[in-house]
């Protein structure tokens, strides 16, 4: 069931999104060789509490941290640890905020130190795929239009498009209907209507799109060890089209 949000509820989610963006912007400054992933998680936890909100992921499905930190071949749901980021890594920060009864969710992939051109392209192209998907969002369009835009661009660029994981609706629960696949056909799926709020989130790989369980018991990683990138935003369908609630 897809829950339609009122204008007032979307305003609350927008405020939560502003808090989320503040946290991610602070974390971006810290991503450099020598920092541990558990340090990033601790900072995220302290910041979100300081802003008067709570982390959405802590305890969700027994996840032990506030921030999902996925490095290199890890796609999503990486568990923070004493792992030290090194020059040439790429790292995805995926964070959720619970504010006044509603969740927001966003993810970014960042370079650690100096990375090669192919990895830089992977990051930029994954972000571009998300932007193209978001451009399809307005009343009367369909979920498949978003999915097609993401897949079409990504595959033209030669990337694998992860299929076993997808975007999702969001609101009083961190994961709601509808599912937002990263592959699909134009004109298919549910019709978009004013008041829908969801999170498109393309996950692209430099190799095969198949995934497997990660060694930390929570993450998913590429089956062939190829590197991956992931971007996500929380968006609302409004009278004027699409409103990004986590604009980083």
Which value, to the nearest 10 degrees, does the dihedral of the CA atoms of residues 31, 34, 35, 37 take?
Answer: 100
| CA pair distance 210, 46, nearest whole angstrom | 35
pLDDT digits (tens, 9 = 90+) for 192-241: 999 999 999 999 999 999 999 999 999 999 999 999 999 999 999 999 99
The whole-number pLDDT of residue 248 equals: 85
Beta bridge partners of 212: 221
The fold for domain 7-244 equals Creatine Amidinohydrolase (3.90.230)
pLDDT digits (tens, 9 = 90+) for 17-59: 999 999 999 999 999 999 999 999 999 999 999 999 999 999 9
Angle at the Cα of 77 from the Cα atoms of 100 and 39, rounded to 5 degrees: 80
DSSP 173: S
For the full predicted model, state whether its pTM sits above 0.95: yes
| CA pair distance 26, 29, nearest whole angstrom | 5
The closest alpha carbon to 246, from 2, 13, 50, 67, belongs to 13
pLDDT digits (tens, 9 = 90+) for 107-151: 999 999 999 999 999 999 999 999 999 999 999 999 999 999 999
């Amino acid at each position: 069931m897809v829950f339609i949000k009122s204008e007032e509820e979307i305003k609350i989610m927008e405020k939560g999104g502003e808090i989320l963006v503040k946290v991610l912007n602070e974390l971006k400054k810290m991503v450099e060789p020598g920092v541990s992933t558990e340090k990033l998680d601790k900072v995220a936890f302290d910041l979100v509490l300081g802003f008067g909100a709570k982390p959405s992921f802590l305890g969700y499905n027994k996840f032990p941290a506030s921030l999902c930190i996925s490095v290199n071949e890890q796609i999503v749901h990486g568990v923070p640890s004493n792992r030290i980021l090194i020059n040439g890594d790429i790292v995805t920060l995926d964070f959720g905020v619970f504010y006044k009864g509603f969740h927001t969710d966003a993810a970014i992939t960042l370079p650690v130190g100096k990375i090669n051109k192919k990895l830089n392209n992977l990051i930029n192209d994954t972000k571009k795929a998300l932007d193209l998907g978001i451009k399809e969002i307005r009343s009367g369009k369909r979920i498949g239009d978003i999915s097609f835009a993401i897949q079409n661009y990504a595959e033209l660029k030669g990337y694998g498009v992860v299929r076993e994981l997808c975007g999702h609706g969001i609101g009083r629960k961190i994961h709601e209907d509808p599912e937002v696949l990263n592959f699909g056909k134009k004109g298919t799926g549910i019709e978009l209507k004013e008041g829908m709020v969801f999170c498109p989130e393309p996950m692209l790989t430099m190799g095969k799109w198949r995934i497997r369980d990660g060694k930390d018991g929570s993450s998913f990683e590429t089956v062939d060890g190829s590197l991956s990138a992931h971007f996500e935003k929380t968006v609302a369908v409004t009278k004027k089209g699409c409103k990004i609630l986590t604009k980083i």
